[in-house]
Amino acid sequence: MSPLACKNLLLFILSQFILALCLFAYLQPSRNQGPEPRAGNPSALTTQPGNSPTALQAGSELIILLWTWPFGHPVALQKCSELFGIRDCHITANRSWYHKANAVIVHHRDVCSSPEKLPQGLRSPSQHWIWFNLESPSHSPNLGFMDNLFNLTMSYRRDSDIFTPYGWLEVLSQPQNFSIPAKSKLVAWVISNWNPASRRVQYYEELKKYLHVDIYGSHHMPLPRDKHFSTLSQYKFYLAFENSLHEDYITEKLWNNALGSGAVPVVCGPSRENYERFLPPDAFIHINDFPNAQGLAQYLQELDKDPARYQRYFQWRTWLKPSERSFWAIHFCKACRALQMTETYQTRTSLAKWFH
């Protein structure tokens, strides 16, 4: 072997040795960082019985305690690093982590029946309590005893500390040719809470005088979960009628039932201006655009007979698409992200006044 080749070989071996030392030094501190979440399995993200919170050493992930699973049902979670490219948080529903938790997420509907359902133990002065609610003010009782307890709000409201809407639009990296699902029916509506005194039911009672609507849900036609999208995609229009009218309260009725199934949403909720903060103006039809239900019925019948005009309600899909990412995982990881960026510690003195 020539002297030059020998020299090059020695330099290569030396460089590999230095690289190995650097890699060892980088990996060594991470050995004691405790359990890591695994995507897609809720039980894997919670601490199993018998595991002690002291397993997480200083310098590891922030700890977020879910005081309850939403509505008492465990949900699949994902790594926040995979969703948002941020440092992972340790998310758990095991209350033995309460005194170690950097933050506690309290889902309003699971605790609102009594103050005793709130965490009762001694609270660390630096522990953040996060009030989490996706219901409208009309369906959020007993906000009064929530005052002076929470540091951060997490809801569908855009002025929340942690904004968690029911859905959103994502910008595509390149234009797509969206294929409108084959349509054989005109208007559908899925409703589980039939209240004759509500605005949406009263509007429907007037609309049905001029237009037939297929209704699914409780006390109406059944809609199996596995047939949900395939059934609704057959309709040209979907009545995305909210159960109450409040700023930013735009729910899965629009995002999942209408846009998710490829139907044009006919909305009854906040103002058109409010909807346009979330959607292009030609992505939906607002009942307020018409003087009465008869005017809306006539317009839908005109679109039914004019394919070119109907297809204009899908032009926005060339560059935008409704998000298809998991619901609860996104919300909890938004809390993880917010906690990593939050330096101030405040108290929401009047939660009821703010939310109403």
CATH number of the domain bearing residue 215? 3.40.50.11660
Tell me, yes or no, whether 102 and 216 share the same domain.
Answer: no
Give yes or no: residues 78 and 42 share one domain.
yes
Q: Do 212 and 162 share a domain, yes or no?
A: no
For residue range 317-336, list pLDDT tens digits in order.
999 999 987 789 999 999 99
Helix (H) or strand (E) holding 338: helix 327-341
- 29, part of any domain: no
Task: Look at the chain and report how many structural domains it folds into.
Answer: 2
Angle between helices 293-304 and 199-207 (to 10 degrees): 60
Given a contact cutoff of 8 angstroms between Cβ atoms, the answer to whether 153 and 160 are in contact is yes
Return all residues near 287 (Cβ < 8 A) that are at least 6 apart: 203, 266, 267, 268, 293, 296
**Alpha carbon distance 208, 185 (integer Å):** 15
Quick one: CA dihedral 135, 140, 144, 145, positive or negative?
A: negative
* Long-range Cβ contact pairs of 194-198 (< 8 A, separation 24 or more): 194/218, 194/219, 195/243, 198/243
Write out the two tokens for 243: 């159960």
pLDDT tens across 169-192, in order?
999 999 999 999 999 999 999 999
Instruction: Please report whether residue 5 resides in a domain.
Output: no
- Please give the average per-residue pLDDT across 274-282, as a whole number: 98
Q: Verify that 143 and 180 share a domain, yes or no.
A: no
Q: What average pLDDT does this structure show over 143-167?
A: 96
Instruction: Kindly report, residue by residue over 340-354, the tens digit of the pLDDT.
Output: 997 666 888 899 999
23 within domain boundaries: no
What is the DSSP secondary-structure string of 43-103? HHHSPPTT--GGGSPTTS--EEEESS-GGG-------HHHHHSS---EEE--GGGGGG-SE
| Cα dihedral across residues 7, 13, 18, 19: positive or negative | positive
User: pLDDT of 76-120, one tens digit each?
Assistant: 999 999 999 999 999 999 999 999 999 999 999 999 999 999 999
State the residue range of the domain holding 289.
Answer: 169-322
Q: Which of 45-49, 184-188, 237-241, 287-291 has the lowest mean pLDDT?
A: 45-49
96 and 221, same domain (yes or no):
no
Cα separation, 62 vs 67, whole angstroms: 16
Do 215 and 270 share a domain, yes or no? yes
Query: pLDDT confidence of 234, banded at 50, 70, 90?
Result: very high
Decide: 67 and 109 in contact? Cβ < 8 Å: no
105 and 40 fall within a common domain: yes
State how far the Cα of 176 lies from the Cα of 172, in Å rounded to an integer: 8
Is 104 exposed, middle or buried (CB count within 10 Å of its CB: 0-12, 13-18, 19+)? buried
Contact 169/323 with Cβ under 8 angstroms? yes
**Residue 332 near residue 105, CB atoms below 8 Å:** yes
Domain match, 205 and 134 both: no
CB 234 within 8 A of CB 183: yes
Does the structure show a pLDDT above 80 at 316? Answer: yes
| Phi, psi angle pair for 260, to nearest 5° | -65, -25
Mean pLDDT of 190-203: 95
CA distance 49 to 36: 16
User: Considering the domain boundaries, does residue 346 fall inside one?
Assistant: yes
181 shares its domain with 313: yes
Active site positions, annotated: 135
Residue 167 CA, distance from chain mean position: 6
Sign of CA dihedral 241, 243, 244, 250: negative
Same domain, residue pair 197 and 220: yes
The SS3 of residue 207 is: helix
Tell me: do 176 and 318 sit in the same domain: yes
Q: State residue 183's pLDDT score.
A: 98
